């Protein structure tokens, strides 16, 4: 479903819709406030106030154009009413991510570092295998992920590489992109319009419901979110990995060892 936008020209502060009016706007509609010269100097302060007052809304203060864009986000009730759906999506994400990653490992004949998959996939960034094809999928290794897009269905998934063999981390943007691009979920039981902001709200509410839980990463100060109902796997911390690699270094009698350089994260 496409959203429609109500455009309101603002010549005076009194023309700004009331908070109650904005709150009553359905999610299928957005509001664009276009400020004329007389009130443009007040736009930033008005926008900041709207951000404070409108909980559950996305308020965007344009950095160039004299406008403020307001969109209602997915509600707690909508998430609660569809918690079973989002939980199943998270399980499907985890299963498909693991399946595709191991297929790619087999195709490229990689020796997977099961404690820290990113160490294995970082090597692909140095040659022509960073981008390629796997059956009906196109893959692309980047950042902390290996992305896959199905050439036939358009389904997209980003498989995390920094949680050991836990491949179900639900980045809010990637998770909603996966949901919206998966053919079997259509039509969606609840609309997702703002892929990142709605994704954040879905994750936060599912955490509070006990359906999702937080996990630590192989990388310091980096965390993830996964479905709670799963077969849990061990995730080594970056301190555990550093200690392990230092022990390996002693055994090989190398004179100097930099863990972060070794795993492809210069430090």
Q: pLDDT tens digits, residue range 155-196?
A: 999 999 999 999 999 999 999 999 999 999 999 999 999 999
**pLDDT on residue 238:** 87
- Residue 17 belongs to what domain range? 4-72
Number of domains observed in the structure of the chain: 3
**Residue 232 in domain:** no
Q: pLDDT confidence of 13, banded at 50, 70, 90? A: very high
Residue 9's DSSP bridge partners are 34
Classify residue 105: in a domain, yes or no: yes
Q: Are residues 92 and 211 in the same domain?
A: yes
Mean pLDDT, rounded, of the chain: 93
**Mean pLDDT, to the nearest integer, of 119-145?**
95
- The residue count for the chain: 267
- Among the candidates 72, 87, 116, a domain finishes at 72
pLDDT at 266 over 60: no
CA 50, CA 54: separation in Å to the nearest integer? 6
Q: How far apart are CA 147 and CA 97, in angstroms?
A: 9
- Sequence-ordered list of residues with C-beta below 8 angstroms from that of 187, at least 6 positions apart, any chain: none
Are 116 and 218 in the same domain? yes
Phi/psi of residue 248, each to 5°?
-65, -35
Q: Residue 255 — pLDDT band, cuts 50, 70, 90?
A: very low
Residue 246 lies in a domain: yes
- Mean pLDDT for 18-35 is 97
Dist. CA 143–CA 120, nearest whole Å: 13
In a domain, 233, yes or no: no
Question: How far is Cα 246 from Cα 254, in angstroms, rounded to an integer?
Answer: 10
Q: Which of 17, 48, 72 is the last residue of a domain?
A: 72
Pair 30, 162 in one domain: no
H or E element at residue 29: strand 29-35
The verdict on 92 and 141 lying in the same domain is: yes
């Amino acid at each position: 479903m496409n959203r429609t936008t109500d455009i309101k020209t603002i010549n005076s502060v009194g023309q700004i819709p009331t908070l109650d009016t904005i709150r009553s706007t359905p999610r299928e509609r957005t509001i664009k406030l276009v400020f004329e010269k007389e009130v443009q100097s007040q736009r930033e302060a008005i926008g900041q106030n709207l951000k404070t007052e409108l909980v559950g809304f996305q308020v965007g203060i344009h950095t160039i154009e004299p406008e403020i864009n307001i969109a209602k986000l997915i509600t707690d009730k909508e998430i609660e009413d569809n918690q079973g759906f989002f939980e199943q999506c998270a399980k499907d994400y985890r299963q498909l991510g693991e399946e595709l990653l191991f297929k790619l490992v087999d195709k490229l004949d990689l020796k997977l570092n099961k404690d820290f998959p990113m160490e294995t996939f970082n090597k692909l960034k140095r040659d022509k295998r960073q981008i390629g094809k796997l059956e009906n999928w196109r893959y692309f290794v980047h950042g902390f992920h290996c992305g896959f897009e199905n050439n036939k269905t358009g389904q997209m998934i980003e498989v995390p590489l920094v949680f050991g063999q836990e491949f179900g981390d639900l980045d809010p943007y990637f998770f909603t992109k996966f949901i919206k691009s998966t053919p079997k979920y259509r039509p969606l039981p609840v609309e997702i319009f703002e892929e990142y902001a709605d994704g954040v709200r879905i994750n936060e509410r599912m955490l509070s419901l006990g359906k999702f839980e937080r996990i630590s990463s192989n990388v310091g100060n980096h965390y993830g979110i996964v479905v709670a109902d799963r077969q849990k796997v061990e995730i080594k911390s970056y301190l555990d990995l550093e200690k392990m690699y230092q022990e390996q270094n002693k055994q090989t009698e190398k004179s100097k060892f930099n863990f972060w350089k070794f795993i492809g994260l210069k430090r």
